[in-house]
Structure 1
Amino acid sequence: MKFSEGDKVEFIYLGELKQGVVTEIRASNFDISYQVKVEFMGTLWVTERDLVAPAPVLKVPQFVADYIEDAKKGVYNTLADAFNCHTKNWDVASWLQNFDDLDGLDYDKAYKNQELFARAWLDGYEVEKEPLYYVRLPLSTWNDDAAELEVINMYVLLNIQSDETTFTGSIINKNKKWKTKLTEAEIKGMPGGDIYWQFAVPVEELGVG
């Protein structure tokens, strides 16, 4: 059995490609049939041999999506022109060539990004969810009771309205004007952001907040 209930599938119906979701399965000695719910059409029974899994939706970073959208609206709106982005958008050029890899250029990754860019331009895309980080700063402070230095963690807080920054000892923040979960661009955009980036910890890694 190739599919399960809830799977998204594609099939040809009256010469057109249709997409739907499997809602029921019936098996016989000769074949397996799937009831597929199709938007605006209701449900249809389709044999297994006529169904295929839809291609996965391509996902690109937000800044790449913004560049593709702007490029397609511009005068030079061909794929070839879009690849010539070194004088137009350095972030996209760096992503295509993998210039920002601190461990050295990874040509396989660069080639994959270039192929992904071309396919996204031609076939469409979704914006991938940008990873979030805490900036955790270990600070030494004097403990009078223990009569010794101890290390405590402080976290950078960013004001989403004024871009002002401050520090907090709690990773959990309930003030909607301030946030501790930050994108790479937000961290690097702060004064001294390149230093802060060295202390960035993925939100999933801490598993709090």
Structure 2
Amino acid sequence: MRFKEGENVHVIVGNELLSGWYNGKEFGTGNSLVKVSKDKIIATKDCFIAKEKEAELVVVPQLVGDFLENHSKEDGHTLHDLLCDLLTSRDSLDENVYDWIMENNSENGELLARAWLDGYEVEKEPLYYVKLPISKRNEATDELEVINMCLLLNIQSHETCISGNYRWVDKLKRTGWRTKLTEAQIKDMPEGDAYWQFAVPVRDLEGEA
């Protein structure tokens, strides 16, 4: 088994199981070095070392995934920033996440913290495109024709717009724009119930590609 330097591992020493960090190979013997404390490094054969099992990622609802994406560590946000926004922000996404936590404070609060600290997977919810039939005059024939446009939602600013291409916007995820939306995201928009009438499951349109 191969190990990466700095990787968390378990090592058997006598009858004792210790945790430590892989520290490379010992020159001359080829034995692996495992640092088990600040000033103690053990040299042993690979057969006595095992990788530490990675914690399973927690699963969170889509709205929590969107919230965490807006407060990612990669963008410089801290856990303190996240908690402050939950308590003080009037953004509808933040308020919805706050409501979700309060539904089961002890369990959902811990779930949110673990997701931010250790990573997460988003619960698989059905996603939809909103295909809007738009009347447009054909300049060549001077007749009205109906074309399907796709509704876009910015999950950060809650702006909406329409586009003739429902796939290209996936490249703009970092800016908050989405074409693949949950039922809740669609119905939470102004006139959301009307938009919902034009919702088409993503898998149906993907099959057309």
TM-score interval, normalised by the smaller of the two chains: 0.3 to 0.5
Q: TM-score, normalised by structure 1?
A: 0.43
Q: TM-score, normalised by structure 2?
A: 0.43
Say which structure is richer in helix: 2
